[in-house]
Chain A
């Protein structure tokens, strides 16, 4: 049997992190093919429901990526809102029996292709250790 390949849904804000992923591509940085990007205009657009929806349909991990705090969010403060929601969501996930580490928040700027690739690598490794999402196992 081949090794477990986690599936990650990555919510990326349009201005920084989506462009950061483009930057990784432009520089041909290689990282594991585990994530699928969903573009939001701002990380602050993240409705907690989106994350729950992803886990419910079988995601092993969810990444929320936006512009660096405190100053980089294109809309000034959306990243702070995202930060608060992710903290709350981690508690909710825990109650649902999902390891909170499966939800990750990262600030990745448009020039940080390297960071995007590194986060992908790290998150994939971590999820491999955690194994498939408990929602999938049950």
Chain B
């Protein structure tokens, strides 16, 4: 507290009539002038203007003020400005008190000016009473850690990690699966230019692996995050691979002897893989992983009685180690960037379209794998029921999207993905294949997308504006459906030997998991929520946590990459300051009053209080100012009132209450 008796200056704002039209500021002035400790009361049109700021500084000097009460708008406006005015006049900025006479009074009590005026007087009395108990405080300045944890190694996570690494930051890239790459690594070609996906992605994946600033942590997940912006502590669970990545040469000998066959998630379950596997040839890192859930050795071996172990015999590098245990790695980082991506809609939820019922109804994701030369069919598009090249292929758009029953939103990639698939069929399989696309609206809004649409039309792909409600199988195994084309007003019967359902992107369970872990908000659609849809698209509302890619909503690679770069530069901007300035609104313990009961330790949501051994069996609470967020739960729970929150002490709050009510 500054020395000497409180000398309070009260500055009443007319707010250009916003306040003074409904509140009698002269009446407020004469009531406030009589208050004990108030030595100056002034009225101005706009106290937030710069000449008015100058006047406040002069008043502070002239009247030797040591407390300032500004009676104006909400403190969610202009607070930094007014704090600076005090600072410039040589007064500690925490000696400022704000009274809200606009949002809380003049704007909401227009019909009762007398009562509104009384209310302002009460509030000012409370403000003055509180002001008299305010103390000088200084912001808490912490050094920032320059490391960044990136969660998710799809295209967004890869690009963001590389940007940050080239910017000189140490990056811990955490990917839950055995390899980075995400969904993009499964594609053969990408719209709209139809360039080869692996040709553009694989080199970037290799760069991640070799970059000296990137620590790649695959087969890992973030388990716990503590600390705060600028200084997070992140616990990362490293699941056992049962293969030493330093020794494994990626030769795949093990996969030729492993007797286990389970559905291969990389090929969306269209073929089988072994229990020890490398997802695809260009995997990064290119090392084998043993799948715990299906490995015979791990499931059935008893001490002294190993089961199987065939891979152990063939591995010349002696890389396989069944004794590996989960490990937890703890890293420090200033910022966290979330890029956990999305998953695809489960077409089984729309049974009338026949997916899961008829083998020749497949999803667009299965089509992607089929047309990929390292996919389950070696790049051949076949009717899975017969193994033959289809003669008629029909795409059905918007499966699970733009439908109140499933997802009301547009998946944004379905139209262009089907255009891509149709053109690949015409160009690489056979121009004689009959291709139909049944759509709602053809949404081709990206750069070069509309031109791409035209090219596909010119290839002879048939477009029907309408969606079938049911797909049926005929006795010969082929598929048939009726669809009403709203452009020609004609009902068509389409007979196809392969139907492809264009499924959209939906929020994955990982989004919910990450949101819970980091206390991030999600929108109604289940995707993560950005700090501001338009102006802060790659930040979250939590300081130090940034976000990019399809975990925010459906988007294509171009958008995921733009966001990744945006998020990376936001992170670099945030970390460039070198330090983080935190409001001194934190808990403080009066050691003499502390009885060592530990109630505060148990209520603190942020583990910010520890007991300190004072010797001779005496323990007292000690607050870690870096971790404390100033909620005041401890202060409200302490039985001996030993802990309080700075700027919100019991005395400050209680005198404000008394001030408001005095004379009632």
The 6 residue pairs across chains A and B that have the minimum distance between CB atoms: A25-B103, A45-B632, A75-B631, A58-B664, A57-B661, A33-B115
Interface residues of B in 611-657 (CB under 8 A from A): 629-633, 635-637, 645, 648, 650, 653-654, 656-657
Contact A54 B605 (CB under 8 A): no
Q: List 27 A-B contacts (CB under 8 A).
A: A9-B657, A19-B76, A22-B74, A22-B103, A24-B108, A25-B74, A25-B102, A25-B104, A28-B107, A28-B108, A28-B110, A30-B111, A36-B123, A37-B123, A38-B126, A38-B653, A38-B656, A38-B660, A39-B75, A44-B631, A46-B636, A47-B653, A53-B658, A57-B657, A58-B661, A75-B633, A78-B632
Contact A57 B664 (CB under 8 A): yes
Contact A44 B632 (CB under 8 A): yes
Is the C-beta of B100 less than 8 angstroms from some C-beta in chain A? Answer: yes
Contact A49 B650 (CB under 8 A): yes
Question: Measured between alpha carbons, how far is A85 from B645 in the docked complex, in Å?
Answer: 18
Closest to A57 in B: B661
Most buried by A among B110, B605, B631, B656: B631
Question: Measured between alpha carbons, how far is A59 from B76 in the docked complex, in Å?
Answer: 27
CB neighbours of A50 from chain B (8 A): 653-654, 657
Using known A-B contacts A9-B657, A57-B657, A77-B605, determine if residue A117 contacts B631 with beta carbons closer than 8 Å.
Answer: no
Contact A30 B109 (CB under 8 A): yes
Using known A-B contacts A42-B631, A81-B603, determine if residue A25 contacts B664 with beta carbons closer than 8 Å.
Answer: no
The residue that A47 contacts in the complex, of B104, B123, B636, with Cβ under 8 A, is B636
Q: How many residues of A contact B (CB 8 A)?
A: 44
CB neighbours of A74 from chain B (8 A): 631
Interface bin, chain B: 35 or more
CB neighbours of A40 from chain B (8 A): 632, 648, 653
Using known A-B contacts A33-B109, A81-B636, determine if residue A41 contacts B104 with beta carbons closer than 8 Å.
Answer: no
Closest to B519 in A: A76
Contact B633 A81 (CB under 8 A): yes
Question: Measured between alpha carbons, how far is A50 from B654 in the docked complex, in Å?
Answer: 6
Is the C-beta of B105 less than 8 angstroms from some C-beta in chain A? Answer: yes
CB neighbours of B519 from chain A (8 A): 76
Interface residues of A in 77-120 (CB under 8 A from B): 77-78, 81, 85, 117
B positions within 8 Å CB-CB of A: 74-76, 100, 102-105, 107-112, 115-116, 118-119, 122-123, 126, 519, 585, 603, 605-606, 629-633, 635-637, 645, 648, 650, 653-654, 656-658, 660-662, 664
CB neighbours of B648 from chain A (8 A): 40-41, 45
Chain A's nearest CB lies how many Å from the CB of B517? Answer: 12
Interface residues of A in 15-33 (CB under 8 A from B): 18-19, 21-22, 24-26, 28-33
Closest to B605 in A: A76
Contact B633 A29 (CB under 8 A): no
Chain B's nearest CB lies how many Å from the CB of A60? Answer: 9
The residue that A33 contacts in the complex, of B118, B630, B635, B654, with Cβ under 8 A, is B118
Contact B74 A42 (CB under 8 A): no
Contact A53 B654 (CB under 8 A): yes
CB neighbours of A76 from chain B (8 A): 519, 605
The residue that A49 contacts in the complex, of B118, B585, B654, with Cβ under 8 A, is B654
CB neighbours of B632 from chain A (8 A): 40-42, 44-45, 78
CB neighbours of B76 from chain A (8 A): 18-19, 22
Chain A's nearest CB lies how many Å from the CB of B424? Answer: 45
CB neighbours of B105 from chain A (8 A): 33
Contact B631 A57 (CB under 8 A): no
Q: A28-B110, A33-B115 are in contact. List 17 more A-B contacts (CB 8 A).
A: A7-B122, A9-B657, A28-B107, A30-B108, A32-B109, A38-B126, A38-B653, A45-B645, A47-B650, A48-B636, A50-B654, A57-B658, A57-B664, A58-B661, A76-B605, A78-B633, A117-B108
Closest to A10 in B: B104
Question: Measured between alpha carbons, how far is A104 from B656 in the docked complex, in Å?
Answer: 20
Question: Measured between alpha carbons, how far is A41 from B635 in the docked complex, in Å?
Answer: 12
Contact B108 A29 (CB under 8 A): yes
CB neighbours of A117 from chain B (8 A): 108
Question: Measured between alpha carbons, how far is A47 from B661 in the docked complex, in Å?
Answer: 18
Question: Measured between alpha carbons, how far is A9 from B632 in the docked complex, in Å?
Answer: 19
Chain A's nearest CB lies how many Å from the CB of B528? Answer: 14
Question: Measured between alpha carbons, how far is A5 from B633 in the docked complex, in Å?
Answer: 33
Chain A's nearest CB lies how many Å from the CB of B153? Answer: 28
Closest to B637 in A: A81
Interface residues of A in 119-138 (CB under 8 A from B): 136
The residue that B115 contacts in the complex, of A5, A19, A47, A57, with Cβ under 8 A, is A5
CB neighbours of B111 from chain A (8 A): 30
Contact A25 B108 (CB under 8 A): yes
Chain B's nearest CB lies how many Å from the CB of A44? Answer: 4
